[in-house]
Chains A and B, each alone.
Chain A
Amino acid sequence: MSGESPMEAGTEYRRIAVMGGVYSNWAALGATLEDAQRRDVDAVFCLGDMGGFGPHPDRVFPLLRDGGVHCIQGNYDQSLASGRTDCGCGYTDPRDNHYALVSYQYTFRNTSTENKAWLGSLPAHRRVKLGPYRLLTCHGSPRVVNEFLWESSTPNGLIQSFLDTHDTDVILCTHTGIKWHRPLARDRHLVNVGVIGRPENDGAPRVWYTLLTADAGLEVEFVPLAYDHEGLARAMDAEGLPLEFAETIRTGWWTTCLENLPARERSRGRF
């Protein structure tokens, strides 16, 4: 596995907060960090895709750095850092690719050279100790940065092979934008921590992050988070980002990039 940081040396946490997909949503990021501190977490982790979708991408970096957030790279971060011409999101439908390109070009133009370099310095994975549990963090999957692990399309056999291959007890991922948790035999788990950058296609503008606590067992709590979504949507409008993006922030329904959703997840949304 390339780009992996070693086990965070000597650090064993009891409770951590983990978020995915910031998508330039500085308002939700600020609210997440405050909320996590109130809940007495030992550390905060972010599983990548700092930019994209939202406005003013440079606003999230001081929050991440000053907040001491342990970050890894997402596919968006890899693309920005390496100067690629697209986000590497893995869409096939031209409509999805159109919106992805609008978002990527805006984010590329508005991310400073310094911040792109910082994204390039992030590891692709981290290994973390939470009580007795060995955690592996990744963006898409442990093997491919832009692999989608949806709840309805991720078989137990695949999760087991990931856990065995990477010799870990818990895999934490994001990338899809919808949270889920599957406990398996022998107290092993996969947790998709969701994203804080946009709501999860359930008709509510709140976003979600995840608390993990090592107690008698592994406790996984998905935390709903209200934030100033209207302020963010207005900033998106002012920046000339697609109206469909702001509509998602305001309504909670996804309006673009729907083609990769499996039937079950797609059927739950409005579009």
Chain B
Amino acid sequence: MKPPLIVLEERQRAADAPSVPFRHLATLWVQITGTWCNLECAHCINASGPDSPWLPPLDGESVRRAIREAEGLGVKEIYFTGGEPFLHREILPLLEEALAVAPTTVLTNGTAITPPVADALAALAAAASYSLEIRVSLDDVDREANDRVRGRGAWAKAVQAIQRLHGRGLLPIVTATEIGPAGGGVGLYGQFRDFLRDLGVEKPRVKIMPVFALGRLAADTGERLDEDSLAGFDTSVLQCSDTRVVAYGGVFACPILAGLDGARLSTGSLEASFRPASLYHPACVTCHRTGMTCRNG
């Protein structure tokens, strides 16, 4: 729980910052396990971990309610994230319910993709009307470099998950951040593609994300967006213009800022959050600069 003074300060910053008009609900994110995770990655954007998550998980009924409301609002795609979504006891039935409404993606560190879970995911994908996407996080093709960031044994489990999913005809998207020594850009994409081909994955899919100065890497550089930075800028490219996140405590502007008071747009319904989102946070500078999106493509 944050001290009231910090909460007030964050709300004031949000009120003073420029904002992005809401266009439509393209993407619903569900922060299903809050910040509860079995890993404790050095660069985690929301400082997820196994002990005392600062953002609690959602109960199944809250998730079902959000999916139902999003369907009525014409949502295009649904994402499950955390924390580690596969720690949630209802993850598989909730994925099935989401897939009945829209294409659905789940972000995972891969550690809980056991053979029975992989079988269940393959069955869900085969039965669903829409695509099931599984994003497996791996930050470096090198075992030691990856495990320095994600923890001992994380590389082996993620690679095993990729192989298990691939073996069942699924095409996981391997997601990396630009934290490793290879840096980002074309080189990193190529490196991961080659790595996956060497694993026998003939249709490698890769997504690279920038590193954000928040969560465990929080460092306030003092950088903020202002009205001048938005002059001539197309704010429709920012995901907060068409994305909302349901997490414990309300509906938030984007997955990066889920759970933060300045990004909370509603404590009730999804539709009540359809109002401008404030670009108050240093992380907004990264989205503005890189044009990044947390979506698959």
Instruction: Give chain A's interface residues, CB within 8 Å of chain B.
Output: 90-95, 98, 143, 150, 152-155, 157-158, 160-162, 258-260, 262-267, 269, 271
Contacts and interface: CB of A to CB of B under 8 A. Distances in A.
A94 B189 contact: yes
A95 B186 contact: yes
Interface in B81-105: 101-103
Nearest to B186: A94
A91 to B, nearest CB: 8
A154 B76 CA distance: 6
B74 interface: yes
A265 B185 CA distance: 25
Contacts of B13: none
A143 B125 CA distance: 28
Given A153-B77, A157-B75, A158-B74, A262 B186 contact: no
B189 to A, nearest CB: 6
Nearest to A152: B131
B101 to A, nearest CB: 6
Interface in B117-152: 125, 129-133
A269 B208 CA distance: 23
B41 to A, nearest CB: 22
A93 B75 contact: no
Nearest to B71: A157
A269 B203 CA distance: 9
Contact of A262 (B73, B74, B103, B293): B103
B76 A263 contact: no
B238 to A, nearest CB: 14
A98 B24 CA distance: 30
B171 interface: yes
Contact of B103 (A94, A153, A260): A153
Nearest to A159: B74
Given A260-B297, A262-B103, A267-B169, A157 B72 contact: yes
A93 B101 contact: no
A137 B55 CA distance: 45
Contact of A263 (B71, B72, B102, B125): B125
B206 A263 contact: no
B288 interface: no
B275 interface: no
Given A143-B24, A157-B101, A263 B74 contact: no
B34 to A, nearest CB: 26
B157 interface: no
Contacts of A150: 131
